[in-house]
Amino acid sequence: MSVATPSPNIWRSPHVYERLNRAADPDRLVAAALADLLGPGGEVGLAVDVGCGTGYHLPMLAELARAVVGVEPHAGLAALARRRVARARLADLVQVRVGLAESLPLASCSVDVVFSHWAYFFGPGCEPGLREAERVLRPGGLQVAVDLDVSATHGYAAWFAASGTRVRGDRTSTFFAEQGWQEQTLPVVWSFDGRGALGDVLRIEFPPAVAARALRETVGATIAVPTVLRWRRPGRVGGCA
């Protein structure tokens, strides 16, 4: 049976991660790019957030679709996502389900948009989730994956590289291009309400030495987080009519 790979930052420190969510992308560049892909007047019946965590992006998707499902493997985070949905009075529009990217609890050919934000779709190794997205997407449906631009050499990307990751930007981009994806980079920033919040987030994102370096190299409480938005429309997929 498949199990989720732990995501230590949000799994262990969801309340600190919420500070990250509140600070991330104040200019709403990701939301604007997604709206552009859907086009003016685009009809979105069902949108799915794969790896929705505490549900931060569910209200944004609810602005674009008639129905939204958040799928999250960690039951505790899924419970927090349900609380967010209830507080936002979106329970009639948004559901949260416990599940994995490679076995989505959704019917085949039922989804218009499969969205993920810093979750699962990181390059080689995510093929089972790609096949599962193809299964649930309707013909012409859109899959979008938002990730760190690991080919960048500044800001968060530089500290990420210093953390000892083996992810390579050229390999990741080639992998997605071969799978029929397109991509665009977005100059996303995270803007915190003070250096205390910034430091708390850096310490759940990076090893102690890298977090200390990142804090030293940051003037104020705003950091650059080079971001890549990838998308594809698989077309006739999953045996859909």
Higher pLDDT, 65 or 164: 65
Looking at the chain, the whole-number percentage of residues with pLDDT higher than 90 is 82
DSSP 112-155: EEEEEESSS--STT-HHHHHHHHHHEEEEEEEEEEEE-TT--SH
Band (pLDDT 50/70/90 cuts) for residue 94 is very high
Alpha carbons 205 and 72: distance in angstroms, whole number? 20
| 184, containing H or E segment | strand 182-186
Question: Facing residues of 241 across strands?
Answer: none
Alpha carbons 80 and 46: distance in angstroms, whole number? 21
Q: Is the pTM of this model over 0.85?
A: yes
CB atoms within 10 A of CB 165: 10
Model confidence pLDDT, tens digit, residues 175-212: 999 989 999 999 999 999 999 999 999 999 999 999 99
| Range scoring the smallest mean pLDDT among 42-51, 165-174, 192-201, 213-222 | 165-174
pLDDT of residue 166: 62
